[in-house]
């Protein structure tokens, strides 16, 4: 009785060898993430349970006083809710301003599309600080926008050092991110489907509402997630255009860490921002499953 033997094909590798190569390839990026992200986050989480001493000192302890005080203080509860609502408003405004541009770019072709894409990306090549100062000059009380509104016979509203200015500035700054995210999610949008809907008698609005919008929902979800995360963590534009009068999580973290030197409370607020990021990602995953399901 003979026993059959099977030789592996030439060039084939054993599963264990393949797994070893995969681990070796992933190890460098895993180490970089561990050193540059995971360890600092753990250190931040540990610091949130320390005790702040007068004069900026930190007592090595393990107390939940920072968390309980944060959740029991009406000022911080209002700060958290206000930060979420303002960030959602900025995200919605960015979506409304970016969607038509992204849809037009998706339908464009050739050199014209390349030129428009470069125009969309070009603001990212300029510092956010420079762009913010540009908006400060435009929205000032005697700026061009106020002068145009006054020339039309209306009383110019106050657009600087308040929430309105912050929303306007961050909406423009986040538009390139939203447009690129929308275009990345427009892959399922087939012009033939639109033509079929129009052939069957659908009006342009009905075609958009029943065909175009549902097919572009993945891009909308991705853009909203990205812009919400960037909006709630933005600091430079908020600090400059808010003028110290708009209090959100980013500015409070800065004040606690730099002004009052209360690093444990600043760490607690920072961890809270990470929790909000995780909640936003969970909502995005849930919405994406609903869209694809």
15 pLDDT more than 70:
no
Element (H, E) at 14: none
Helix (H, G, I), strand (E, B) or coil at 127: coil
pLDDT in the model for residue 190: 77
Mean pLDDT computed over 49-67: 85
9 pLDDT more than 60:
no
pLDDT in the model for residue 7: 52
Q: Strands 58-59 and 51-52: what pairing?
A: antiparallel
Residues 152-173: pLDDT tens digits?
A: 988 888 888 889 999 999 999 9
Give me the phi and psi of 170, to 5 degrees please. Answer: -70, -30
Give Cβ neighbours of residue 105 (< 8 Å, ≥ 6 apart): 113, 116, 117, 120, 179, 183
Mean pLDDT computed over 40-62: 86
Mean pLDDT computed over 243-251: 88
More confident position, 14 or 218: 218
Helix (H, G, I), strand (E, B) or coil at 24: helix
Within a 10 A sphere around the Cβ of 262, how many other Cβ atoms? 18
How high is the mean pLDDT of the chain? 87
Provide, rounded to the nearest whole percent, the portion of the chain with pLDDT above 90.
42
Q: How confident is the model at residue 212 (pLDDT cuts 50, 70, 90)?
A: confident
Element (H, E) at 201: none
Domains of the chain: 2-47 (no CATH), 66-292 (1.10.3720.10)
12 pLDDT more than 90:
no
Q: State the virtual CA torsion across 76, 80, 86, 92 in degrees, nearest 10.
A: -170
Give Cβ neighbours of residue 77 (< 8 Å, ≥ 6 apart): 71
Give Cβ neighbours of residue 14 (< 8 Å, ≥ 6 apart): 8
Residues 173-205: pLDDT tens digits?
A: 999 999 999 998 887 777 788 888 888 888 888
Q: Yes or no: say if 52 and 263 are a contact pair by the CB < 8 Å rule.
A: yes
Q: How confident is the model at residue 6 (pLDDT cuts 50, 70, 90)?
A: very low
Helix (H, G, I), strand (E, B) or coil at 96: helix
Give me the phi and psi of 247, to 5 degrees please. Answer: -105, 115
pLDDT in the model for residue 82: 94
13 pLDDT more than 70:
no
pTM of the full structure: 0.85
């Amino acid at each position: 009785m003979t026993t059959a033997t099977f030789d592996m094909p030439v060039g084939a590798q054993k599963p264990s060898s393949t797994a070893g190569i995969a681990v070796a390839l992933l190890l460098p990026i895993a180490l970089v993430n561990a050193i540059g992200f995971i360890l600092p986050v753990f250190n931040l989480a540990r610091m949130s349970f320390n005790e702040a001493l007068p004069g900026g000192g930190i007592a090595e302890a393990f107390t939940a006083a920072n968390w309980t005080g944060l959740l029991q203080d009406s000022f911080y509860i209002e700060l958290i809710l206000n930060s979420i609502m303002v960030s959602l408003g900025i995200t919605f405004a960015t979506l409304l301003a970016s969607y038509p541009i992204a849809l037009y770019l998706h339908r464009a072709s050739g050199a014209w599309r390349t030129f428009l894409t470069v125009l969309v990306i070009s603001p990212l090549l300029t510092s956010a600080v420079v762009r913010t100062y540009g908006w400060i000059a435009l929205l000032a009380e005697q700026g061009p926008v106020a002068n145009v509104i006054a020339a039309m016979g209306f009383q110019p509203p106050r657009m600087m050092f308040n929430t309105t200015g912050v929303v306007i500035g961050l909406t423009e700054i986040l538009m390139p991110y939203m447009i690129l995210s929308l275009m990345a999610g427009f892959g399922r949008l087939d012009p033939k489907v639109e033509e079929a809907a129009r052939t069957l008698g659908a009006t342009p609005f009905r075609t958009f509402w029943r065909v175009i919008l549902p097919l572009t929902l993945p891009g909308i979800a991705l853009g909203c997630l990205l812009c919400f995360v960037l909006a709630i963590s933005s600091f430079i534009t908020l600090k400059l255009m808010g003028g110290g009068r708009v209090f959100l999580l980013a500015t409070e973290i800065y004040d606690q860490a730099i002004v009052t030197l209360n690093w444990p409370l600043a760490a607690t607020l920072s961890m809270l921002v990470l929790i909000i990021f995780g909640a936003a990602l969970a909502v995005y995953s849930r919405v994406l499953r609903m869209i694809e399901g």
